[in-house]
Amino acid sequence: MLSATDPVNPAKEPLVVILGPTAVGKTQVALQLAARLNGEIVSADSRLLYRGMDIGTAKPTSEERARVPHHLIDAADPDQTWSLALYQRSARQAIEDIQSRGRLPFLVGGTGQYLRAILHGWQIPLAHPDLRLRAALESWAAEIGARGLHARLAVLDPAAAAAIDHRNLRRTIRALEVILHSGRPFSEQRRSGGAPYRMLSIGLDLPRPELYARIDARIENMLAAGLVREVQDLLERGYASDLPALSAIGYQEIAAYLQGQLSLDEAVARIRRRTRQFVRRQANWFKRSDPEIRWFTAHPHVCDEIEKSIRDWLGLVDNPQK
């Protein structure tokens, strides 16, 4: 579960977390709250790290980032690999820098592993990728399939296998890579070292039909804004379509369309389907029943409600300008 507060050590510096499913409106809510509360935003979205991937990730615009400082956005090129350990270290540095300047950090996103690594203080070894071992595992996966490779992981580390969907070949390979390279179970990375922050976790949600309607509208808006051209630019710049970064929802399907493997209608249908599947996985990370997450329905005036909740938690007086 996500930690909301630390009554044992209230002297810890505060951290506000904004989480929830894709397309629920986290970015706009966080922008408003950070502007009102002297805050800065640290992204907890694995795809916002990559330069050149703007439209398909619904990345905050340059104007929005000028209005409120953002961290861990456009931090890498698409062919650079960011491990969970590197993300955790970088996010902690950003949070502590914000706190040191007397501002309020907002950790915002929907990547469950990223959020939990920070909030639970996972003890993750900063292991560098073993590219030769990874290539060997990829070849093995081509022979025995994703399910077969996942079965091998289950023999070596049942806890890790239970936490990884057998269809997620990239994560299965990464788990086996860590195990074979280090000689230690991959699941050990989820051992909690305790979070160094006093945290308030805010969850945003919508009824599923309304959320799906937003997702469909977002996909149409992305296409109208030039998603196909964005993916084509990435491919023309030499980024391979099988890069982990380009496995992101939307990019993989549009790349397949550009390479003649799918029609555009088929690609869009797959984007919709994968996004709905992703929403269901996010619901497993962040449950409405979790008592340590304060859930809000994402209606037009939700920022006022959340701001009051944060001010009460921080012990601040009401905003006299409101």
Torsion angle of C-alpha atoms 15, 192, 116, 145, degrees rounded to 10 = 160
| Average predicted confidence (pLDDT) for the chain | 90
129 contacts 170 by C-beta, under 8 angstroms: no
96 with 180, same domain: the answer is: no
Q: Which amino acid belongs to residue 7?
A: P
222 pLDDT more than 80: yes
Could you give the maximum distance between any two Cα atoms of the chain, in Å? 66
- The Cα–Cα gap between 16 and 4 comes to 9
179 pLDDT more than 60: yes
Overall number of domains in the chain: 2
CATH number at residue 248: 3.40.50.300
Instruction: Report pLDDT digits (tens) over 17-34.
Output: 999 999 999 999 999 999
Domain extent, residue 178, equals 131-190
113 with 232, same domain: the answer is: yes
Whether this prediction's pTM lies above 0.75 is answered by yes
116 with 232, same domain: the answer is: yes
Q: Is residue 321 part of a domain?
A: no
Q: Is residue 5 part of a domain?
A: no
18 with 61, same domain: the answer is: yes
16 contacts 310 by C-beta, under 8 angstroms: yes
118 with 205, same domain: the answer is: yes
Reported in sequence order, the residue ranges of the chain that DSSP labels E, i.e. its strands, are 14-19, 39-43, 70-71, 104-109, 198-205, 293-297
196 with 87, same domain: the answer is: yes
pLDDT band at 181 (very low <50, low <70, confident <90, very high): confident
321 pLDDT more than 80: no
Instruction: Report pLDDT digits (tens) over 139-172.
Output: 998 999 999 999 999 999 998 898 788 888 888 9
235 with 299, same domain: the answer is: yes
Pick the more confident residue, 2 or 108: 108
Instruction: Report pLDDT digits (tens) over 284-305.
Output: 888 888 888 999 999 989 999 9
CATH number at residue 175: 1.10.20.140
37 with 98, same domain: the answer is: yes
